[in-house]
Amino acid sequence: MVNWVRARTPTDGGAAGVVDTLARVMERLGGAQSAAAVGIASAGLVDAATGRVLRAANLPGFDHPVPLLRLVGTRLAREYPHPEPVTLALDNDVNALTRAEATYGAAADGRDSLVIALGTGVGGGLVLGGRVRLGPRGFSGEIGHVVVQPGGRPCSCGGYGHLEAYLGRSALEHEARDRHDRGRHSLLVDLAGDRRMSSSIWDRALDAGDELALTLRLEAASALSVAITQAATLLDIEQVVLAGGFAPILGRPFRAEVDRQLAVMSVAGAPAVRGAALGDQAGAIGAALLVA
């Protein structure tokens, strides 16, 4: 039997707050004594070998390296003195999601695949020869930071013209507000006000035919098509799996536009683009697979 417990990532308290939340989740699952191992998938730049989150823009208090695995290990050892120490492992959340999709989901058919996670930012993972390709530094598949427009929009990483700057929800919000302020009125800003421009706001604006939302979606489709074409040409990728909470929001017209552009740009035949199979539990499943 599989038990699921969800908890919100705390917005204050930094690393200690995150470790507290993880400990409470363990408690609700029956305590560490009932677990053989604990796998953790974290947002951000992760050094799996040393168990550290080097930097995570979306996690308050993670703007410097955090030894997350050691902190969780110490906390569990204190709360659950165990005859055998619990096995712990850490990986990047998109690598975990990719591992899950490659094992049980949309990329489990053995085809060479690029998994792209669309959320606040844009992450990616590669499945080659049936295995997740991490690379010597763990950065394989990071398609969010390939250049799709030289000298283009600024990216969260400090670079320019990266895919994430055209397709990440946070970058799209920035672009929408900027154009709105320069006179391009949009329902996106009307609906969001001072609050975060959430996926549901994008959903409503696109549904209502908001012109700026539609333009930004079209530009996002072009940027994604360029990035996919480069990856597919270089690696002979057969399929692309679009995962993450923002992928369904962009919807069918987005996928159709990407398909259309890929057909024009691809040299060796366009890769098939499909949706992910495991939904928002993919990260947790991939984290469990790390220690399975």
Taking the complex as a whole, the smallest distance from the CB of residue 132 to Zn ion amounts, in Å, to 22
User: Rounded CA gap, 89 and 55, in Å?
Assistant: 17
Task: Confirm if 205 and 211 have CB atoms less than 8 A apart.
Answer: no
In the block, residue with structure tokens 């390296």 = 65
Taking the complex as a whole, the smallest distance from the CB of residue 165 to Zn ion amounts, in Å, to 7
User: Rounded CA gap, 17 and 290, in Å?
Assistant: 24
Taking the complex as a whole, the smallest distance from the CB of residue 173 to Zn ion amounts, in Å, to 16
CB of 143 or CB of 285, closer to Zn ion: 143
CB of 99 or CB of 145, closer to Zn ion: 145
CB of 17 or CB of 159, closer to Zn ion: 159
CB of 105 or CB of 124, closer to Zn ion: 124
One-letter-per-residue 3-state SS of 32-84: HHHCCEEEEEECCEEECCCCEEEECCCCCCCCCCECHHHHHHHHHHHHCCCCC
User: Rounded CA gap, 127 and 109, in Å?
Assistant: 11
Taking the complex as a whole, the smallest distance from the CB of residue 144 to Zn ion amounts, in Å, to 6
CB of 220 or CB of 285, closer to Zn ion: 220
Taking the complex as a whole, the smallest distance from the CB of residue 28 to Zn ion amounts, in Å, to 37
Q: Nearest to Zn ion by Cβ — which residue?
A: 155
The terminus-to-terminus CA distance of the chain in angstroms comes to 15
Interface contacts to Zn ion, rule CB under 5 A: 145, 155, 157, 159, 162
244 conformational bin, left if phi > 0, alpha if psi -120 to 50, beta if neither: left
Taking the complex as a whole, the smallest distance from the CB of residue 213 to Zn ion amounts, in Å, to 23
CB of 52 or CB of 162, closer to Zn ion: 162
